[in-house]
Amino acid sequence: MIRIEGLTKEYAGNAVVRDVSMEIEAATITVIVGTSGSGKSTFLRMINRLVEPTKGVVEIDGTDTREMKAYELRRRIGYAIQDHGLFPHWTVARNIATVPKLLGWDRKKIDARVHELLELLQLDPDEIAPRYPHQLSGGQAQRVGVARALAARPDMLLMDEPFGALDPVIRAKAQTDLKSIQDRLGSTILLVTHDMAEAIRLGDRIAVMSEGRVEQLAPPAEILTHPASDNVRNLVGDDDRPFRYLSLIPVSERTEEGTAEGTPIAADRSLYDALAEMIWSGREVLPVVGEDGSARGLVRRGALLDAARSVA
Amino acid sequence: MSRPFVFLLRLALVALVLAFLFVPEAFRPLLEPFAPVGAPAIYDRASLLDLTISHLLIVVAAIVPATLISVALAILVSRPIGAEFLPLSRAIVNIGQTFPPVAVLALAVPVVGFGTWPTLIALFLYGLLPIFENTLAGLTGLQPAVAEAAKGTGMTGRQRLFQVELPLALPVILEGVRISLVIALSTATIGSTVAAKGLGEVIIAGLNSNNLAFVLQGGLLTGALAVILYDGLGEISRMTAARS
Ligand SMILES: Nc1ncnc2c1ncn2[C@@H]1O[C@H](COP(=O)(O)OP(=O)(O)O)[C@@H](O)[C@H]1O
Ligand SMILES: [Mg+2]
């Protein structure tokens, strides 16, 4: 668990992060969202002490981070950034091995870990491991950056706009993959983005930052249904709120008894996906199936619109 | 130009220089037209091979310490604790460049006497600036994301320097060494005016006795050596840069 209290950073007397306090549960994703310049990166970088706080405390599992050497702290915390920052003179394998090498793991253990991580991130180890960063696509480089951050099994992962440089299609896949990796590994993730849609898709909780302050810290549904300030409301985008809300709810929550015709939708997809399918195929009712393809019932357009209206 | 052609050209140049150094007599018919009647066409007061070796040794003896000191200085001033010394270091390193080489020789002779030393000092001073500036540019020109990653992964300052900053700056540093070497190679010829042993001796003898053949062989040899060194080091620096 991470406890942050009264965290403040001033540059030349100018506060860019002001008195931020929060507690972050282990094995959750907290997304920091806000406009550019709102202090998100500065906040994140104070946690691994790339920026030294002017005031305030960061405690990880009860230990004040100031009691550790900064480089030792950083080896315990995975860090992934927008332009991935892969070392251009090292192969992918050597890049991923960075922190394990610093920690003095033996060679065999490192090789096995690199192999395991490349597979976890759906990169073919034999093909990708010997490559240099300039021989990777943007999406591959981003995944190698995440693999490097995960290499030494850190309890915690800091990610600063990790998907910022990806095109929309690869970006959506990277988000889904991150979520499933986090499910599997149980990592505690603190992720910064300026994209509210991304925050809603990934976050267990969202912290909305504005001018260095956290204006609201809440689960996505609450951010959508009860925005705490105009800033938060603007960031969500009033017009988009019903759609964002639908994207949070799985089809299974509005599934009714019965049978329907046509291509079915999976129960774990979102109501947003169901609505899109209804619009495209001109249907009012979709059959719902489980993961194994078995019939679960149906979902109606009316139920779906009711759900969307509940945000207003 | 195609790679094989460039390679052949290099090989031919090296072969030509070696042939001239080991069997200069074979080139007599070519040089004879440039020598005054009755005067020797091939320099005969010392072996051209010995002079070339001595010329190269002086250059290396000046550039190796110049490289070590410049790189060390650039590392120092690119660290946070050394940043204050940047202007001072720049000034010191620049002094070598603002004095004309002849002036350095003239100033050095009364202090260290005639011979190899004044030339070594001049070449050393001339070698500092390009290497210092290039090393500094290489160390400070690191991509911000790479610098951030090096810190963020938990490298210590020393680990960042040796594992990331220096390896990535290497091509630029080598480029500086290459420039300094070539400058030193040509500047070393004037060392012969203060009795340093080198190819300048041949040129000066030619000028004194109006023997164009001497001037040509001294000048062309120096030029050919410069081209070979410049080209060879360029190849090495390209190899180190290929990945970054
Ligand atoms: N080292 C620094 N010195 C002075 N000002 C800084 C420094 N780092 C960030 N800032 C300022 O702090 C504010 C917040 O920056 P940042 O945390 O990068 O915002 P965000 O990541 O939300 O875009 C900006 O106005 C930025 O100019
Ligand atoms: Mg930022």
Nearest of A10, A32, A11 to residue A19 by alpha carbon? A10
Position B86 confidence tier, pLDDT thresholds 50, 70, 90 = confident
Res. B178: pLDDT tops 90:
yes
The pLDDT score that the predictor gives to residue A37 is 94
Nearest of B215, B75, B186 to residue B139 by alpha carbon? B75
Interval B192-212 mean pLDDT: 90
Query: What is the percentage of chain A residues whose pLDDT exceeds 90?
Result: 78
Cα angle at A130 between A129 and A132, to 5 degrees? 100
Regarding an ipTM greater than 0.95, the answer is no
* Element (DSSP H or E) covering residue B200: helix B200-208
- Provide the domain count of chain A: 2
Kindly determine whether residue B148 and residue A85, on different chains, have CB atoms separated by under 8 Å. Answer: yes
Same domain, A85 and A144: yes
How many secondary structure helices (H) and strands (E) does chain B include? 11, 0
The pLDDT score that the predictor gives to residue B244 is 54
Res. B127: pLDDT tops 80:
yes
Res. B150: pLDDT tops 60:
yes
Q: Which ranges of chain A does DSSP label H, i.e. alpha helix?
A: 40-47, 70-76, 92-96, 98-102, 107-120, 125-128, 138-150, 168-185, 196-202, 220-225, 230-236, 241-248, 271-281, 301-309
Q: What is the pairing mode between strands A285-289 and A295-300? A: antiparallel
Check pocket membership of A194 for ligand 1, CB cut-off 6 A.
no
Cα angle at B184 between B182 and B189, to 5 degrees? 110
Res. A312: pLDDT tops 70:
no
pLDDT digit string (tens) for A84-141? 899 999 999 999 999 999 999 999 999 999 999 999 999 999 999 999 999 999 999 9
Kindly determine whether residue B152 and residue A83, on different chains, have CB atoms separated by under 8 Å. Answer: no
Check pocket membership of A42 for ligand 1, CB cut-off 6 A.
yes
Res. A44: pLDDT tops 80:
yes
DSSP string, B4-36: HHHHHHHHHHHHHHHHHHH-GGGGHHHHGGGSP
pLDDT, chain A, mean = 93
The whole-angstrom separation of Cα B25 and Cα B32 is: 11
pLDDT digit string (tens) for A153-202? 998 999 999 998 888 888 888 999 999 999 999 999 999 999 998 999 89
Report which ligand 1 atom has the smallest distance to the Cα of A9.
12
pLDDT, chain B, mean = 90
Q: How far is the CA of A160 from the centre of ligand 2 (A)?
A: 7
Q: Which domain holds residue A132?
A: 2-236
**Domain finish residue from A209, A236, A263:** A236
Interval B179-190 mean pLDDT: 92
Q: What are the structure tokens assigned to A121, written together?
A: 């991130």
Q: Which amino acid is at A174?
A: A
Q: How far is CA B81 from CA B77, B86, B162, B163, in A?
A: 8, 10, 17, 20
The pLDDT score that the predictor gives to residue B1 is 60
pLDDT digit string (tens) for A279-297? 999 999 999 999 888 889 9
Same domain, A263 and A141: no
pLDDT digit string (tens) for A194-217? 999 899 989 999 999 999 999 999
Mutate to test the pocket of ligand 1, among A14, A16, A20, A44 (most ligand atoms within 8 A of CB): A16
Report which ligand 1 atom has the smallest distance to the Cα of A39.
17
Same domain, A160 and A272: no
By three-state DSSP, how is residue A10 classified? strand
Kindly determine whether residue B154 and residue A89, on different chains, have CB atoms separated by under 8 Å. Answer: no
Res. A241: pLDDT tops 90:
no
CATH (one of 2.60.120.10, 3.10.180.10, 1.10.3720.10, 3.90.1150.10) for B45-243: 1.10.3720.10
Check pocket membership of A11 for ligand 1, CB cut-off 6 A.
yes
**Closest-CA residue in chain B for A72?**
B154
Same domain, A72 and A183: yes
Give me the residue label for tokens 């590392």. B75
Q: Which amino acid is at B27?
A: F
Sign of CA dihedral B110, B195, B53, B229: positive
| Closest chain A C-alpha to B153 CA, distance in angstroms | 6
* Element (DSSP H or E) covering residue A17: strand A14-24
